[in-house]
Amino acid sequence: MTGKFEVYEDKDHKHRFRLKAGNGEIIAASQAYESRESCMKGIESVKRNAPTAPVIDQE
């Protein structure tokens, strides 16, 4: 199974997404967005930017 984005409404009625791995484990969670449209734009930003994002090791 592949990873997936889940969009949901939190207890404060804000929109959020989480990215789940194929095994169902949450591997990323978003900030709260005022609108569903903004939340969807956040997902698109992750999809667009993540493939080229550098890994910065701060250990």
What pLDDT is attached to residue 1? 74
Q: What is the C-alpha separation between 43 and 55, in angstroms, rounded?
A: 19
- Domains of the chain (ranges; CATH) run 4-51 (3.30.160.160)
**Long-range contacts of the stretch 36-41 (C-beta < 8 A, 24+):** 36/7, 39/7, 39/15, 40/7
Residuewise pLDDT in 10s, the chain (59 residues) = 799 999 999 999 999 999 999 999 999 999 999 999 999 999 999 999 998 999 999 99
Residues 6 or more apart in contact with residue 18 via CB below 8 angstroms: 5, 6, 8, 26, 28, 29, 30
Task: In whole angstroms, give the CA distance from residue 15 to residue 43.
Answer: 12
Q: What's the whole-model pTM score?
A: 0.86
